[in-house]
């Protein structure tokens, strides 16, 4: 596996400054943010953004397209799909092969929504394949739709689109309703992309989607999870994604240096680096 950093981790520095700091720290693979790209495009062009990445010697491996309710049937479906296609076009121009959307929703979901969501997954997969991208579905701990690994596996399998895969996020897995044995359900090569973080040693009632920390600084069974993913055939990038202000507002170089040292130590201990 290879280490990557998600731009959410240094969101306060903006698109260009986050990447520049990370490159100085020896980071080579990056995951781009739709929000930070939009901020850059207020004064620069898409070609300028690509030049930032290439001039720093970075390889973009994935990107985020955060579109609430995107995986669910919705009266505004056409507009959401247009946004997805725009993100496909934008990020494919960077040479990225993966685009993901988290299962963000606060809706009360019905059993019928899961059946109708299959077409949403297939539509996203068809749109992405036109740009030679894989579409990834990320379950998130507080979603009323997809918050666990088993439900996400079941939905992507039923959709049966070869271009749609689950995204496995360590933090959402460890702090949500998923169980360790759920990893036994994963088929070889089924996981499309991975986000890694650690869980702080605080009461579980205090955990939310933001309280993730640098791998190696917490209590999550990271080594065991890495080994299980490797046994299931995952050998791609693993992207560190953090949200706490102490990280997002930190100096990108210093933060990336710390993340690289600690994350790679965990990966070496697991035998995946």
Model confidence over 220-249: pLDDT tens digits? Answer: 999 999 999 999 999 999 999 999 999 999
Q: Which domain holds residue 82?
A: 2-270
Residue with tokens 């990336």: 256
Model confidence over 84-93: pLDDT tens digits? Answer: 999 999 999 9
Partner residues linked to 166 by β-bridges: 137
CATH code at position 42: 3.20.20.150
Angle at 154 between CA 186 and CA 159, to 5 degrees: 115
pLDDT (mean) for 33-49: 98
What is the torsional sign of CA 107, 162, 152, 97?
A: negative
pTM over 0.75: yes
DSSP assignment letter at 21: H
Cα separation, 19 vs 8, whole angstroms = 11
pLDDT at 106: 85
DSSP string, 132-178: T-EEEEE--TT-SS--SHHHHHHHHHHHT-TTEEEEEEHHHHHHSS-
Model confidence over 133-151: pLDDT tens digits? Answer: 999 999 999 999 999 999 9
Model confidence over 65-103: pLDDT tens digits? Answer: 999 999 999 999 999 999 999 999 999 999 999 999 999
**CA distance between the termini of the chain:** 5
* Contact indicator for 63, 237 with CB cutoff of 8 Å: no
Cα separation, 9 vs 196, whole angstroms = 11
Q: Determine what percent of the chain falls in helix, strand and coil, rounding each to the nearest 5.
A: 50, 15, 35
Number of domains the chain is built from: 1
Task: Please give the structure tokens belonging to residue 96.
Answer: 């990225």
pLDDT at 101: 98
Question: Please, what is the angle between helix 252-270 and helix 14-24, to 10°?
Answer: 60
């Amino acid at each position: 596996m290879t280490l990557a950093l998600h731009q959410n981790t240094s969101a306060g520095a903006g698109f260009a400054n986050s990447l520049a700091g990370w490159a100085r720290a020896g980071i080579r693979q990056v995951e781009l943010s739709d929000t930070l790209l939009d901020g850059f495009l207020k004064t620069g062009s898409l070609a300028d953004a690509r030049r930032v990445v290439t001039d720093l010697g970075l390889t973009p491996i994935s990107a985020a397209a955060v579109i609430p309710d995107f995986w669910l049937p919705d009266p505004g479906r056409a507009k959401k799909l247009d946004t997805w296609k725009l993100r496909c076009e934008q990020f494919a121009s960077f040479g990225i092969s993966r685009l993901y959307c988290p299962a963000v929703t606060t809706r009360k979901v019905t059993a019928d929504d899961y059946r109708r969501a299959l077409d949403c997954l297939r539509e996203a997969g068809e749109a992405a394949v036109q740009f030679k991208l894989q579409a990834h579905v990320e379950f998130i701990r507080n979603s009323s739709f997809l918050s666990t690994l088993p439900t996400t596996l079941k939905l992507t399998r039923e959709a049966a689109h070869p271009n749609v895969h689950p995204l496995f996020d360590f933090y959402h897995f460890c702090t949500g309703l998923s169980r360790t044995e759920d990893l036994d359900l994963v088929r070889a090569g089924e996981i499309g992309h991975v986000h890694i973080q650690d869980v702080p040693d605080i009461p579980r009632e205090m955990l939310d989607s933001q309280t993730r920390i640098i791998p190696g600084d917490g209590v999550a069974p990271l080594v065991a999870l890495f080994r299980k993913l490797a046994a299931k055939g995952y050998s791609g990038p693993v992207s560190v994604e953090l949200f706490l202000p102490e990280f997002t507002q930190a100096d990108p170089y210093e933060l990336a240096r710390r993340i690289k040292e600690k994350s790679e130590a965990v990966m070496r201990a697991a035998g995946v680096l």
